[in-house]
Structure 1
Amino acid sequence: MGGRAAMFALLAASFLSMFDRQTLPPMLGAIAGDLGTTVGGVGAALSVYSICYAASQLPWSWLSNRIGVVRVLRVALVAATAFTVLTAFAVDPVTLWVARALSGAAIGAIVPAGLVYVAERFPLDRRAHALVNLATATSLGMSVAVVIASVLGPLGAWRWVVLGTAVAEAVVAVLLLRVQAGPRPPAPAPMVRSLRRVLGDPWMVLILALVLVEGAALLGIMGFLPAALAHEGADPVLAGVVTGVYGLALIASAQLSKPLIGRVPPGVLMLLGGAALCLGFLLLVLWLDVATVLVASGLLGFAYAFAHTQIQNWMTDVAARDRAVGTAVFATVFFAGAALGAALGAWSAATGAYRWLFLAAAIGGAAFAIGAWIGRTRYRVRAG
């Protein structure tokens, strides 16, 4: 399979990695009713998923260094298919937690492997464009998942949504079998040595602090916008559809950002993204209705397209000597942030304290904007 076809398979896998994750939050009520438990009990599965996703990063990195990223993607998609089927047939909260934990561990390989694949094949000046495409795929998966789950969840079809995800994962696994895996990588540096280099780099420490905040807001808390809107009395289906504007905004913003890459300093792009993140959640603190969620979803799509792709690109240069391990640590912290955001979101869903949740996200967005702008402006490119 040629380069374009390989990138298509990678984009499809990236789409599914986020689709798989984001189908559950809009269906919490439906799943809780079906399994005879509380929304908080089902919501715990979201935190378990994110924790296992984060915990799987270094093992996947170790395997990637030995068999290559394409082979890792194949293994991950096959495993994800099996565990997603297990999720669809969950009969109680414990079964659901176990299934989502295993799914999170399997899906955890996809985005980091994609980042390494892109970083190994594109120089820094072209890499940002490829990362924009990856970010578009993952965030489109998030948006489509929210819309589909919000429409079908209240109809009692949550198991069919999950089964459909499993079928799609199986299809992409077959596509990846046609992608040339290439030779196995040369013997890598010991994992402990690579970890010390990565975690001992002050620039990497700054990036990890920033991405922890970003993950909590854009992955963890963002998924609870439909639930917050439904809590205010909006129709659950309408709440999901309105939130779906996030994906449309991200696609538009991603295309807008491409001609700016190389012309506008990366620090400024991250400042703009962080400001949009802060403003989007602050708007929801002040007013929480269909109109403000619509606007906020657009701002968050803009934030992801401008901020996340740039911080990914920054990380691939900082960790150039230990890219697989650096990417794994980056993803671990990103999804640790998502787990934190999901835990806060589950608490908010149980108590109805959504405005406090959004206020925390707005403060985090402001901190991200300032820290990313100052840090990236002072940084000097290393590997290119």
Structure 2
Amino acid sequence: MDKQRAESKHLQLLYAGSFLGNFDRIVITPLLLPAAKGLHVSVGSVTVALTAYLLLFGIMQPVHGLISDVFGRVRVMRFALLGMCVADVLSGFAPNLGLLILGRALAGASAAALLPVMVAYVGDRLPFERRQRTVASLLAAGAVGTAGATVVAGVFTHLWSWRAAILLVAVCAPVLAVAFGRMPEAHSPAPGGMRVGERLATVFRIGWFRFLVVFAVFEGAAMLGFFNFFNAALQVGGHSIVDAGLVTGSYGLAAVAGGLAVRTLGERVSAATHFAVGGVLLCAGYLVCVPAQSMATVLVGSVLSGLAFALVQSIVQTWGTQVAPPQVRGIATSLVASAVYTGAALSTYLVSGLADEKHFGPLFAIAAAVTLPVALVGPVARARFATTLARQQAGAAGPGAGGAPAPLPADRRRG
């Protein structure tokens, strides 16, 4: 009983870390217009701060994954939280655009350690049949952080300054870093073992992993890039930052509801079906906002995007833990997450000009066009992967097609 209680507390700390990490990632989104006015620059220029965060968030994830494989997951997460504190102090007090961009970039580089290392930690400590439910809960906690960031940023900006919500993260991060010190390491850190090149070679010899990394770039663009402009679209339309935050905050609540659905239906509905439903919902959410960006259409778009996030993103993250053996699971999950957020960064950068010109209808049309192939390819690929795992299990072939590790019995159920 004591062991179960301790494990529950450790998972709660991970959920808190996911909440804070997503809060930090999203907090700049509702601040694009207020920060642009405060710094006397264009919205497109401030969007570079968002892009810089997402880009460094993506690039640094494999680095953190490698380090966590060697030195331990908990140690890396604690240093990441301290790095977020320093970066957000710089961002919160930035007197000009250049320092804001630098601060957000450093915050992204630090926060990059949280999600992939958390997923690897879960993969190390929990059996497969509990992983996707736990990862879904991690992502749901992060989605609450997303909702919290949009609401808190709006309220804090209205009451004090656009800088206040960023500085809130700087206060909370070191407190959480201290709390993480109570968590046990997931596994014994490797004393030297495989070199970086050997670890990378190991994961890239896995055929399904190579597919997943490429696919994740497009999935990240669709899932985590374009929705960042929902809030700005409302503010440009004349709505207050508080109202825009309350509307787009529905994204997080919908993601929590979707996470509960994943936990409830996880053993009865295949991952491929989850992916298909999520892809359709995301595409519909963007299409609704093409003709007009009113409170009603953005509310619908936010809710559908949040549901889609819960249904799809836990599958993509868990997929990374399935194709990689434990000794390289950290680098595998981080490379998948890196691809996701690199795609998100590219998408925000490529459409920032449309946001600057206030052309949000064409922006969301592009979002729907990018989402459609993801919604079509993802379910088919996931179903084929499940078939590959089932054949490996049936043939007791061990490392089989594509170099993936032999599946557990639960793998067949989660196809």
- Give the shorter-chain TM-score range: over 0.9
How far residue 4 of structure 1 moved from its aligned partner, in angstroms, is 1.3
Following TM superposition, where does structure 1 have runs of at least 4 consecutive aligned residues deviating by more than 6 angstroms? none
2:74 to 56, 67, 70: 70
Q: Extract unaligned runs of 5+ from structure 2.
A: 390-405, 409-415
For normalisation by structure 1, the TM-score amounts to 0.95
Instruction: Flag the 1:328–1:188 CA change in 2: closer, same or farther, 3 A.
Output: farther
Show CA shifts across 1:152-188 (max 9, x none). Answer: 3355512211111111112111111222336642344
Aligned amino acid, residue 223 of structure 2? L
2:331 to 294, 301, 325: 325
Residue 167 of structure 1 corresponds to 171
Residue 123 of structure 2 corresponds to 119
Residue 376 of structure 2 corresponds to 370
Instruction: Flag the 1:170–1:302 CA change in 2: closer, same or farther, 3 A.
Output: same
Report the Cα distance in structure 1 between the residues aligned to 2:315 and 2:186, rounded to whole angstroms: 28
Aligned amino acid, residue 252 of structure 1? A
1:353 to 353, 359, 366: 359
Aligned amino acid, residue 107 of structure 2? S
Q: Which aligned pairs between 1:91-240 and structure 2 lie closer than 5 A?
A: 91-155=95-159, 157-181=161-185, 184-186=188-190, 187-240=192-245
Aligned amino acid, residue 376 of structure 2? I
Q: Extract unaligned runs of 5+ from structure 1.
A: none
Contact kept in structure 2, 1:124 and 1:313, CA below 8 Å: no
Report the Cα distance in structure 1 between the residues aligned to 2:120 and 2:361, rounded to whole angstroms: 38
Instruction: Flag the 1:313–1:195 CA change in 2: closer, same or farther, 3 A.
Output: same
How far residue 374 of structure 1 moved from its aligned partner, in angstroms, is 0.7
Q: Which aligned pairs between 1:286-325 and structure 2 lie closer than 5 A?
A: 286-320=291-325, 322-325=328-331
Contact kept in structure 2, 1:26 and 1:153, CA below 8 Å: no
Contact kept in structure 2, 1:52 and 1:102, CA below 8 Å: yes
Q: Identical aligned pairs, as a percentage?
A: 34
Residue 269 of structure 2 corresponds to 264
Report the Cα distance in structure 2 between the residues aligned to 1:251 and 1:285, rounded to whole angstroms: 25
Residue 79 of structure 1 corresponds to 83
How far residue 232 of structure 1 moved from its aligned partner, in angstroms, is 2.5
Aligned amino acid, residue 253 of structure 2? L
How far residue 105 of structure 1 moved from its aligned partner, in angstroms, is 0.8
How far residue 202 of structure 1 moved from its aligned partner, in angstroms, is 3.0
Report the Cα distance in structure 2 between the residues aligned to 1:283 and 1:352, rounded to whole angstroms: 17
Contact kept in structure 2, 1:74 and 1:173, CA below 8 Å: yes
Aligned amino acid, residue 284 of structure 2? L
Instruction: Flag the 1:154–1:340 CA change in 2: closer, same or farther, 3 A.
Output: farther
Show CA shifts across 1:104-149 (max 9, x none). Answer: 1111100011000111112222111101101101111112111222
RMSD of Structure 2 on Structure 1 (CA):
1.8
How far residue 340 of structure 1 moved from its aligned partner, in angstroms, is 1.2
Residue 17 of structure 1 corresponds to 21
Aligned amino acid, residue 206 of structure 2? D
Pair member with larger Rg: 2
Aligned amino acid, residue 210 of structure 1? F
Residue 274 of structure 1 corresponds to 279
Is 211-220 or 303-312 further displaced after alignment? 211-220
How far residue 69 of structure 1 moved from its aligned partner, in angstroms, is 0.3
Report the Cα distance in structure 2 between the residues aligned to 1:73 and 1:112, rounded to whole angstroms: 10
1:335 to 321, 326, 341: 341
Show CA shifts across 1:75-107 (max 9, x none). Answer: 111111111111111111111111111111111
Contact kept in structure 1, 2:143 and 2:253, CA below 8 Å: no
How far residue 194 of structure 1 moved from its aligned partner, in angstroms, is 2.4
1:61 to 60, 65, 70: 65
Q: What number of residue pairs does the alignment pair up?
A: 384
Aligned amino acid, residue 233 of structure 2? A
Aligned amino acid, residue 121 of structure 2? Y
Q: Please state whether the residue corresponding to 1:285 is helix, strand or coil.
A: coil
Instruction: Flag the 1:326–1:261 CA change in 2: closer, same or farther, 3 A.
Output: same
Report the Cα distance in structure 1 between the residues aligned to 2:296 and 2:41, rounded to whole angstroms: 32
Aligned amino acid, residue 101 of structure 1? A
Is 297-306 or 51-60 further displaced after alignment? 51-60
Is 126-135 or 146-155 further displaced after alignment? 146-155
Instruction: Flag the 1:182–1:230 CA change in 2: closer, same or farther, 3 A.
Output: closer
Is 352-361 or 99-108 further displaced after alignment? 352-361
Contact kept in structure 1, 2:33 and 2:232, CA below 8 Å: no
Q: Please state whether the residue corresponding to 1:233 is helix, strand or coil.
A: coil
Aligned amino acid, residue 18 of structure 2? S
For normalisation by structure 2, the TM-score amounts to 0.88
Report the Cα distance in structure 2 between the residues aligned to 1:216 and 1:347, rounded to whole angstroms: 16
Report the Cα distance in structure 1 between the residues aligned to 2:82 and 2:239, rounded to whole angstroms: 38
Report the Cα distance in structure 1 between the residues aligned to 2:194 and 2:227, rounded to whole angstroms: 38
Residue 242 of structure 1 corresponds to 247
Instruction: Flag the 1:46–1:299 CA change in 2: closer, same or farther, 3 A.
Output: same
Contact kept in structure 2, 1:276 and 1:303, CA below 8 Å: yes
Q: Please state whether the residue corresponding to 2:290 is helix, strand or coil.
A: helix
Contact kept in structure 1, 2:124 and 2:187, CA below 8 Å: no
Residue 407 of structure 2 corresponds to 383
